[in-house]
Amino acid sequence: MTCVASSLPRSGSPAEESATAATPRVTPPVPPTLAEAYVECERIARASSSSFALAFRLLPHERRQALAALYAYCRIVDDAADESRNPAAALAAWRSELARLRDGTPTHPVAVALADAVRRFAVPTQHLEEILTGVEMDLAPRSYETFGELRRYCYHVAAAVGLAALPIFGCRDLQSCAYAEALGVALQLTNILRDVAEDAERGRIYLPREDLRRVGYRERDLRTHVRNDAFRALVAFEVERTRGFYRMARANIAARDRRALVAAEGMRLVYQRLLARIAANPDAIFGPRIRVPVSEKALCTLAAWLRTRSGRP
């Protein structure tokens, strides 16, 4: 799957263990304490070695804990879909766990911590449902005919994550919802470009068929890693569309939420670096996964902190 929060490096646990951990037990033992639940969420966040974990360090402790719970939820439901023997049943179990979360009786450690974050920061649970719907969309290999169809998918697996995060960040301006939606789509489109070869091998082609037809590139070419002028034109087209969403996000940063969005801005800068690497060498998509070095991620995080303090967009 190519989810914003969950497409990042995994913890390194064997698939069998990950799938077991990802699926709530039907008859669980005594639920963990809240402290134990947050420890587990922070472990998942740290193990990812991701841009998200680095950006979390810019937040106060309580908000950082809550973001770790949201991240762990995205990570673990994605693992349930990708690594469980019965993904549909695993995700159905998580729907039940979300119902228990709303009722105040969660059992899974991640859900226990997430329930506390929802209560403390008034996170709309509808966004948690939307994220799960996005994961379910990946259960069967599929392709997208139009960008409108793909954008709906991006909303569920990425924009909904950002919308759930806004109250945890401390945002107060409704304009920040437009920021979160645009940034979520931009991050997801960047992920899709980076992972296009890996996804095609799994039978998942996210790039809209209308875009492939526009440049004369075929799905078969994508699966067989054909590198030609049509492919480079396709990447250039997708890169420019994605840059448009990053510009849209920047244009919707509300002045009074600028400091609250420091972690999100750190992620934006990192992912824009990633997109720039893809644009500079489209053929590299078919090689080892394109990455932004940790040193550059740290610089992006620092730049985001300085910009939000200075008032620069």
The pLDDT score that the predictor gives to residue 76 is: 92
CB atoms within 10 A of CB 46: 13
pLDDT(14) > 90:
no
Q: Which residue has the higher pLDDT, 29 or 18?
A: 29
Distance of CA 218 to the CA centre of its chain: 27
Give the CA-trace dihedral at 63, 126, 184, 81, to 10 degrees. Answer: 100
Identical fold at 1-139 and 141-313? yes
**Quick one: CATH architecture of 141-313?**
Orthogonal Bundle (1.10)
* Burial call 241-273: b when 16+ CB within 10 Å, e when fewer: ebbebbebbbebbbeebbbbbbbbbbbbbbbbb
pLDDT(19) > 50:
no
- Over pLDDT 90: what percentage of the chain? 69
The band of 202, judged by pLDDT with boundaries at 50, 70 and 90, is: confident
Q: Provide CATH code, domain 1-139.
A: 1.10.600.10
Q: Where are the domains of the chain?
A: 1-139, 141-313
- CA distances from residue 274 to 11, 216, 226, 268 in whole angstroms, order as listed: 21, 26, 22, 10
The band of 8, judged by pLDDT with boundaries at 50, 70 and 90, is: very low
pLDDT(17) > 50:
no
Helices (H), the chain: 15-22, 34-48, 51-56, 61-83, 87-103, 109-121, 125-136, 147-154, 160-169, 175-194, 196-201, 209-215, 219-223, 229-251, 262-280, 294-310
Q: What is the mean pLDDT of residues 169-177?
A: 96
Would the CA dihedral through 88, 161, 114, 105 be positive or negative?
negative
